[in-house]
Structure 1
Amino acid sequence: MHPADMPADVFASLEGAVAFRLFADQKDPTLSVPEQIAGRIGDRILNSEMAPGARIGEQELADEFSVSRGPIREALRILEREGLVTILPRRGAIVTELSAAELTELMEIRAGLFELVVRKLTQNRHPELLPMLRAGNQRLQALAPIPEMGDAYAETTYRLLILCARLSGNQRLQRMLTGLSLQTLRYSKLGLRTPERRLRSARLWQEATDALEQGDTERMVLLARQRIEESAEEAVRQLANTPNPGDRA
């Protein structure tokens, strides 16, 4: 089933529940000027409009946003804290490059945190959990085989993860996983680039949902970790085949 052919109400609430941008839980009027600018630049990085390793010109951004360079520098420091920008001494800012070492560290943390989520979900079965997972699985199965839907698929898996964390009842755990999402989403898109990988991922999501319905906590934990590790392994392979922008300079 093509995503456009799905019933309008199947995934509508899930689709808009998680936004992948800085300060997604705040409205723009409550944000400072540097925070608003950081959010806009962060969107471009996460949407691949700004490539890893690309130089970020302070003056160009100052002209675009009609501000001095001070708010731009503060925005870049915010993005550096989020892992999206690297500020190099005497060279300025660049979009943070992707690396296998960082990927391994981030995915280890993500897998460990999500295991805690799974255990809490099976202990306290929220009534919205299974309907949400079934709707998410339907969406994943529709997106997986379509070549141009890789980014949409990766974003959907992250929505599912964060929504699971919300339903776990642990707000601190939810905030930690949400904070990781900005740093790991670019890697996830690499690991889920091909339809074959996405079909495999969708199958693991479905098997994990089945395990939850059966009350099999250990199997759900195993499947969640397997899905994360397989995505990370594929992302590492993709990185190995991607030229470093600095090498072409």
Structure 2
Amino acid sequence: MNTHDLPPELLRDLEGAVAFRLFADQDEPTLTVSEQIASRVGERILSGQLAPGARIGEQELADEFKVSRGPVREALRILEREGLATLLARRGAIVTDLSAQELSELLDIRAGLFEVAVRKLMAQPSAQLLPLMRAGTERLQTLAGQDGAGELYAQTTYRLLILVARLTGNRRLQRMLTSISLQTLRYSKLGLSSVARRQRSVSLWQQAIVALEAGDADRVVQLTRQRIEESAQEAVQQLDLKGKP
């Protein structure tokens, strides 16, 4: 099976527009009012429309969505649970700041969850895994050398990880990986902002495909952790630079 043999819906999900939102595995009509508000505000945070530290106005959201403040408060609690907002006593809500400590914690969890997905897929192989990885890596290679493509590269990486998790058939694992990947997305954009970092990243993806073809699960896991750690180091450096006067 080559990349052209991927099911149309899988290829579309990989190459199409990426909807970064909470509850990505649910249809909008099934969400509560609070969940819909959390989803919309979460998109603004993940896209950078709401910057780290920005105030999230409770009354402003209630006016915008034409609801009472009750559903808005619940939406803010959802965003806090997902690590996108911080609720401050008597001061309201703000977009969660980016920090090296949070990044380290999130990436430890993400790497562990992805290892579970990889080992499960290699123990119970999916015929779609290698074609998906090849198609995704080809897309990443195209973006790696393009100036200003860091955000698109990070988005494609996010989508590829989620689609790999989907192939496991474990919906709980998919939801957990989706949630943790959303929380790390803002950091991924920093860690993949340079051409050199993206080219290094895609090289590790390509090596992982070779390891997959050889059935070497340990090597795939090692390369995944290496790729995540190297991007994290770059993100921390970028955070340090942003913090300097």
SS at match of 1:234: helix
Cα RMSD after superposing both structures: 2.1
Percentage of identical aligned residues:
67
Q: Does 1:166 align with 2:166?
A: yes
Give the superposition deviation at 1:148: 2.2
- Which ranges of structure 2 fall in alignment gaps of 5 or more residues? 1-7
Residue in 2 that maps onto 1:115: 115
Q: Distance in 2 between matches of 1:190 and 1:151?
A: 9
Q: 1:82 to 1:136 in 2, by over 3 A?
A: same
Q: 1:9 to 1:38 in 2, by over 3 A?
A: closer
Residue in 2 that maps onto 1:36: 36
The within-5 A match list for 1:186-197 is 186-197=186-197
Cα-to-partner distance string for 1:133-186 (whole Å, 9 max, x where unaligned): 111011101111112221111111111112212223433322221221221111
Q: Is the 8 A contact 2:148 2:193 kept in 1?
A: no
Q: TM-score, normalised by structure 1?
A: 0.89
Q: 1:18 to 1:214 in 2, by over 3 A?
A: farther
- Which ranges of structure 1 fall in alignment gaps of 5 or more residues? 1-7
Q: Distance in 1 between matches of 2:161 and 2:35?
A: 26
Q: Does 1:179 align with 2:179?
A: yes
Q: Does 1:145 align with 2:135?
A: no
SS at match of 2:93: strand
Residue in 2 that maps onto 1:215: 215
Residue in 1 that maps onto 2:229: 229
Residue in 2 that maps onto 1:3: none
Q: Distance in 2 between matches of 1:21 and 1:204?
A: 27
How many residue pairs get matched?
238
Give the superposition deviation at 1:71: 1.9
Q: Does 1:60 align with 2:60?
A: yes
Amino acid at match of 2:173: L
Give the superposition deviation at 1:63: 1.9
Residue in 2 that maps onto 1:198: 198
The within-5 A match list for 1:64-103 is 64-103=64-103
Amino acid at match of 2:243: P
Q: TM-score, normalised by structure 2?
A: 0.90
